[in-house]
Amino acid sequence: MGDPGPGAITEHLAELRRGCPEALSRLVPLVYEHLHRLASGQMRGERPAHTLQPTALVNEVFLRLGPNLPPDVRSRAQFYALAARAMRSILVDHARARASEKRGGGRALPLTKPGTIQEPSRDLDLESVLDIHRALDRIAARDPHVARLLEMRFFAGMTAEEAASALDLSVHTVRHDLRLGHAWLKKELTL
């Protein structure tokens, strides 16, 4: 079963906003597989015995979002954008913990070749998560909107269309801002 589309998810989000706690248990199966695919893509570059597996990552997303779902989340795209932020936070926390265990060692940046940024959901190793996180924080100081779009792209694999829907923007604007954001991210990661 793939992503069920906006209707069913939007309906359950509306129920959650109306205070129906059972709606979360109906929402989880609708979005779980999509989030698991995103998490699997993020974790693909890690060793098989890694302590954080895609299922654990998705479960942690639900633990963080479940009781804290903001009332203004009204659509599937907004939900996935929020899930992207939670996934980023979890991956960063995990990478920090792992880095503190290792204390040092060379870390590969998510660049496939000079001047190209690794696309989302393609073997993004957790050690690179901290580099991207720091770069996104620096970009957010300049332009929070662009940083948010990059977060949606890298941590939830959202398309320009999905990000536009989540933020109520035109696809043209999102694509333009993503090109700008990729250029900034490339610069931040190669400094």
Rounded CA separation 31/10 (Å): 11
Residue 181, pLDDT score: 93
In a domain, 81, yes or no: yes
- Is 1 part of any domain? no
Residue with the two structure tokens 């939900």: 79
Question: Which tens digits make up the pLDDT trace of 159-178?
Answer: 899 889 888 899 999 999 99
Q: Which residue has tokens 């901290």?
A: 130
Radius of gyration from C-alpha coordinates of the chain: 17
Structural domains counted in the chain: 1
Taking only the tens place, the pLDDT of each residue in 96-130 is 777 666 654 444 444 443 344 444 444 456 667 78
Segments forming the whole domain that contains residue 142: 6-190
| Structural tokens at position 152 | 């949606």
Give burial (CB, 10 Å; 0-12/13-18/19+) of 188: middle
Residues 6 or more apart whose Cβ sits within 8 Å of residue 145: 167, 177
Residue 113's beta-bridge partner residues? 116
Nearest to 109 by CA among 137, 133, 130, 128: 128
Q: For the whole model, what pTM was predicted? A: 0.66
